[in-house]
Amino acid sequence: MSLSGDARSDHGSAASAVADDLAQLILGELAPGQSLPSEADLAGRYSVSRLTIREAVKLLAGRGLLELSRGRRAMVREPDGSAFTDFLTSLVRTDPKGLFDLVEVRLSLEMQSATMAAKRANRAGIIAIENALQGMRDSVGDSPDFADEAAEASFHAFDFGFHEAVALASGNRVLGYLFEAMAVPLREGFFISQRGHADRGHTPQDTIAAHQRILDCIREGNGRAAAEAMRIHLRDTERDIRMALTKMAQSPARS
């Protein structure tokens, strides 16, 4: 028998309320890899039907908190930034302002990560930053520009790796998590900013030099200088994006 509109609404409200309570259980008491109690146990605990429990579990799976598989109880997922990634990716693809919003967030996060990396980075952290920077160099070689699209893609991948390595070297796990979640939108932003970088008369070698200054300050343990080097680099990135978007707006629309 089909539910009336009011009944469906009541059912949805119950499932949402159960999902909110279960989320607290998952985040506060259960470890990744653990299974939820059975549907029967949960239905008894919340005094609702098994159907309501199933809907609540689906809601939590949609939030990325649970993993569902046929014939098994729902399992707590390892936390990841997939929902955050999807949001940021959609933002930078559909709204040019989203790119500037992302740069503003990066300014706060990356100046802080550079400061802390200068104070806390161990030898392994420094090596990871050095390797990413070397990857950028290897991608472009001695040329003033990229040899092809593959070289540019490689360059941007190592560019992201540099910033992620700085965040990880800070010793702050939340910063590392955030950079993992921002990987896709940041790389897409790099391609756009590179267009503006070239239009402003700069080369990939200039980008490498900016990253080298950040690394040098981190090596020296100078947190203030590392933050300032990062600020200058990201402000340049902001100008690159502005230039690229201006040129794109001025280009005649394709028929």
Q: What does the DSSP assignment read for 104-154?
A: HHHHHHHHHHHHHHHHH--HHHHHHHHHHHHHHHHHHTT-SS-SSHHHHHH
Closest CA to 172 of 104, 109, 84, 80: 109
- The yes-or-no verdict on residue 9 having pLDDT over 80 is no
pLDDT category at 2 given cuts 50, 70, 90 is very low
Mean pLDDT rounded to a whole number for the chain: 88
pLDDT digits (tens, 9 = 90+) for 140-176: 998 889 999 999 999 999 999 999 999 999 999 888 8
What domains, with CATH codes, occur in the chain? 14-76 (1.10.10.10), 82-250 (1.20.120.530)
Query: Residue 233 and residue 24: Cα distance in Å, rounded?
Result: 40
Q: Which stretch of 19-23, 165-169, 202-206, 231-235 has the lowest confidence by average pLDDT?
A: 19-23
Task: State the DSSP code for 182.
Answer: T
pLDDT digits (tens, 9 = 90+) for 95-113: 878 888 889 999 999 999 9
* Cα 81 to the center of its chain, rounded Å: 7
Query: Residue 238 and residue 54: Cα distance in Å, rounded?
Result: 46
Query: Residue 172 and residue 165: Cα distance in Å, rounded?
Result: 11
The CB density around residue 252, as the number of other CB atoms within 10 Å, is: 5
Query: Residue 178 and residue 108: Cα distance in Å, rounded?
Result: 12
